[in-house]
């Protein structure tokens, strides 16, 4: 059994005309790239991989979302900085700013998902269940296979 | 409609106790890495990717085979040289030596498949049909997805 | 004939107990990495190369300085953000914040050196003359040679 | 004090109309890339670096020579194979085939230089003395500096 993915609690969205909600994305696989703009591993590996996911899969099969989970250097990674960062790095997919936590440095979605740090890639299936949580780096070949396995669930073979 | 994959015509096999035949591999996806040991693109990209396929997918789902398609420098790429090459590059999957052609430099399997050169990666589905032929480089993310799509054909969703 | 390198006009210095002045560095080769913290090429190539310079050459021969030349996204690349960036990317060499310009977006040192953009690597010889200005990427092998050529000027052969 | 570099004992030369002798190269720095064509580290790092040396320095300052030091897989790495290898990898600098040893697998120059394996890069100064012997990989930045230091020996500063 897999748990339903908790909702994304965002104080702001960038790169999208309107906020997204996971429950409106049912029927599609969702890849959520949890990152911080000043996290070196996110910049060198996590975000480029998320961009490759967006370029490789069809939009009707896979939605890519960024989640900016600021848990350190809050002053340096605010929304103005994030917008400049996304512009410079040519990141076009929708990005949610994780809601500031009420007790402690962890933002709310990050805490709810019990993330260990950034980058973390979450995979949510067509039914809205959390199916994978990769902290750190995951090889492209295995990831491509994992995403396609989710895409193919509940579909007939060719 | 997809064509059935022509048989592999081999004068010799390495890294396997007995020759393989595509028809005995029905039920599994087969990835055939067509290479030459002195082809720089095969050494830098094609063969490492084939090794990653073998490490990433389960042996009961995907079989990786090398096909040594010598169409130039025949004197430099004979079986003795190939065995040393496979040893030095730690290539463990079975490798077939494509049968020398009878009229021209192209070996027989390469000619039958109408390959454009090396490296070329062939993907054969569980029913023995040729489904993809990638000449040159193919990104890992897309390839992982393509292979998994073939693995999932005819299987029920989880 | 080579021009003397103009002074660095800095509003602030990080990673150093006191401001540096080029004229107090006479006798040593100075490598100045001109960057912006949100410039992808600076993050992927320029700054790592500057770190390698600092690790490769002896401190008595070569001084490495960063110059944060903000000419866009001023709100996102202020000193608080820069300090967090340097911490996360483990950049230990002294970094000057280029003085905001009085007429236009270009900061003052950048304007004085007529830099084309970031990353730019400046090389200043033991006598304080500007000897090289590399905009974009420069290969390590050629750069190592160029720096050593400056190090050896005016020294006797072994 | 540095030892004079022992002569290169070659059974054959490729990529040159006539054999080279170290003593005729006095006045120039000589970089000798000791390799085996089936050695993965030579193919991925050593030989590309030697090609970069040849492209970066002036021919009147630095001579690049390959030395094919076959100490294993002798049947697979003979001169015919080597010629095909050099062609495929676009290696243009002169390459000597190290003379087969009389007692044991090590070829004669390799034994005389007491090399630990391949790839090894030798640097010989303008006076013919052996100045460096790098087994394995050496970073480009440090290597560029080391070669330039040898180039500048005995020359006046600009």
B148 touches chain A (CB under 8 A): yes
Whether the predicted pLDDT of B128 surpasses 80: yes
Distance CA D64, CA D123 (A): 10
Q: Which of A147-151, B90-94, B152-156, C112-116 has the lowest mean pLDDT?
A: B152-156
Contact B154 A157 (CB under 8 A): yes
* Strand stretches in C3-153, DSSP E: 10-14, 29-35, 62-68, 95-98, 120-124, 130-135
Structure tokens at A46: 């996590």
| Minimal Cβ distance to B140: which of A140, A149, A154 | A140
Instruction: List, for residues B75-99, the tens digit of each pLDDT value.
Output: 999 999 999 999 999 999 999 999 9
| Minimal Cβ distance to B38: which of D40, D73, D85 | D85
Whether the predicted pLDDT of D158 surpasses 50: no
| Minimal Cβ distance to C84: which of A43, A44, A73 | A73
Give B-chain residues touching D83 at CB under 8 angstroms: 76
Instruction: List, for residues D95-114, the tens digit of each pLDDT value.
Output: 999 999 998 899 999 999 99
DSSP letter string over B71-120?
-S-GGGSSHHHHHHHHHHTT--S-EEEEPPPSSSSS-HHHHHTT--SSSE
Give the DSSP H/E element, type plus range, for residue B152.
Answer: helix B140-152
Range of the domain at C148: 10-18+25-152
Q: What percent of chain C has pLDDT over 90?
A: 93
Distance CA C98, CA C140 (A): 26
| Minimal Cβ distance to D145: which of C145, C153, C155 | C145
Contact A148 B146 (CB under 8 A): yes
Contact A75 C85 (CB under 8 A): no
In a domain, A131, yes or no: yes
Q: Give me the pLDDT at residue A23, please.
A: 95
| Minimal Cβ distance to B88: which of D39, D80, D85 | D39
Q: Please, what's the b/e burial string for B99-111 (b: 16 or more CB within 10 A of its CB; e: otherwise)?
A: bebeeeebbbbbb
Q: What is the CATH number of the domain that holds D71?
A: 3.40.30.10
Give C-chain residues touching A45 at CB under 8 angstroms: none
Residue C108, classed as helix, strand or coil, is: helix
ipTM: 0.93
Residue D3's pLDDT band, with cuts at 50, 70 and 90, is confident
Structure tokens at B81: 């040289």
Contact D158 C155 (CB under 8 A): no
B155 touches chain A (CB under 8 A): yes
Instruction: List, for residues B15-74, the tens digit of each pLDDT value.
Output: 999 999 999 999 999 999 999 999 999 999 999 999 999 999 999 999 999 999 999 999
In a domain, C158, yes or no: no
Q: Give me the pLDDT at residue B3, please.
A: 84
Give C-chain residues touching D53 at CB under 8 angstroms: 141
Residue C142: count of CB within 10 angstroms of its CB: 18
Give A-chain residues touching B141 at CB under 8 angstroms: 49, 52-53, 56, 140-141, 143-144
Whether the predicted pLDDT of C95 surpasses 80: yes
Where would I find the H helices in chain A? Answer: 40-41, 47-56, 79-88, 108-112, 140-152
Residue A12, CA distances (Å) to A24, A124, C75 in order:
17, 21, 18
Give D-chain residues touching C151 at CB under 8 angstroms: 145, 149
Contact D75 B88 (CB under 8 A): no
Residues in chain D: 158
Residue in B with minimal Cα distance to D81: B76
Q: How far C89 CA lies from chain A's nearest CA (Å)? A: 6
Instruction: List, for residues D14-34, the tens digit of each pLDDT value.
Output: 999 999 999 999 999 999 999
Average pLDDT for A76-93: 97
B138 touches chain A (CB under 8 A): no
Residue A40, CA distances (Å) to A116, B91, B148, C81 in order:
16, 33, 31, 14
Q: Give me the pLDDT at residue A157, please.
A: 40
Return the residue in D76, D80, D85, D91 with the most chain B beta carbons within 10 A, the one to mutate for interface testing: D76
Average pLDDT for B108-127: 97
- Give which of D22, D62, D78, A28 is closest to C141, Cα–Cα: D62
Whether chains D and A touch (3+ CB pairs under 8 A) is answered by no
- Which chains are within 8 Å of D by 3+ CB pairs? B, C
Whether chains C and B touch (3+ CB pairs under 8 A) is answered by no
Q: Are A65 and A51 a contacting pair, CB within 8 Å? A: no
Contact C157 D158 (CB under 8 A): no
Residues in chain C: 158
- Give which of C6, C12, C7 is closest to C100, Cα–Cα: C12
Residue C118, CA distances (Å) to B20, B54, D16 in order:
56, 43, 43
In a domain, A33, yes or no: no
In a domain, A35, yes or no: no
Q: How far is CA D68 from the centre of its chain?
A: 8
Q: Give me the pLDDT at residue B88, please.
A: 98
Instruction: List, for residues A52-74, the tens digit of each pLDDT value.
Output: 999 999 999 999 999 999 999 99
pTM score > 0.80 for this model?
Answer: yes
In a domain, D139, yes or no: yes
Residue D12, CA distances (Å) to D94, D103, D124 in order:
11, 20, 21
Q: What percent of chain D has pLDDT over 70?
A: 96
Average pLDDT for D68-88: 96
Instruction: List, for residues D30-53, the tens digit of each pLDDT value.
Output: 999 999 999 999 999 999 999 999
| Minimal Cβ distance to D152: which of C140, C143, C152 | C152
N- to C-terminal Cα distance for chain D? 27
> Going by C-beta distance under 8 Å and a sequence separation of 6 or more, which residues neighbour residue A1?
none
Distance CA D120, CA D137 (A): 8
Instruction: List, for residues C47-84, the tens digit of each pLDDT value.
Output: 999 999 999 999 999 999 999 999 999 999 999 999 99
In a domain, D4, yes or no: no
Q: Which of residues 113-132 of A touch C (CB under 8 A)?
A: none
- Give which of B11, B20, B7 is closest to B64, Cα–Cα: B20
Size of interface A-C (CB pairs under 8 A): 43
Size of interface A-B (CB pairs under 8 A): 70
Residue C3's pLDDT band, with cuts at 50, 70 and 90, is confident
In a domain, C143, yes or no: yes
In a domain, C3, yes or no: no
Residue in A with minimal Cα distance to C72: A84
Q: How far B89 CA lies from chain D's nearest CA (Å)? A: 6
Instruction: List, for residues A100-129, the tens digit of each pLDDT value.
Output: 999 889 999 999 999 999 999 999 999 999
Q: Give me the pLDDT at residue D157, please.
A: 40
Give B-chain residues touching A154 at CB under 8 angstroms: 157
D105 touches chain B (CB under 8 A): no
Contact D88 B73 (CB under 8 A): yes
Contact B148 A143 (CB under 8 A): no
- Could you give the number of structural domains in chain D? 1
Give B-chain residues touching D39 at CB under 8 angstroms: 88
Q: Are D119 and D32 a contacting pair, CB within 8 Å? A: no
Give A-chain residues touching C73 at CB under 8 angstroms: 84, 87-88
Residue A31, classed as helix, strand or coil, is: strand
């Amino acid at each position: 059994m897999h748990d339903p993915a908790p909702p994304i609690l965002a104080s702001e969205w960038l790169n999208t005309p309107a906020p997204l909600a996971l429950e409106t994305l049912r029927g599609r696989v969702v890849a959520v790239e949890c990152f911080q703009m000043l996290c070196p591993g996110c910049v060198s590996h996590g975000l480029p991989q998320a961009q490759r996911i967006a370029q490789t899969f069809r939009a009707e099969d896979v939605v890519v979302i960024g989640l900016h989970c600021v848990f350190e250097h809050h002053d340096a990674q605010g929304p103005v900085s994030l917008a400049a960062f996304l512009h410079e790095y040519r990141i076009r997919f929708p990005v949610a700013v994780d809601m500031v936590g009420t007790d402690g440095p962890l933002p709310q979605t990050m805490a709810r998902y019990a993330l260990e740090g950034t980058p973390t890639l979450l995979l949510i299936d067509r039914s809205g269940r959390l199916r994978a949580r990769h902290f750190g780096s995951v090889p492209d070949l295995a990831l491509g296979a994992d995403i396609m396995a989710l895409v193919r669930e509940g579909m007939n073979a060719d």
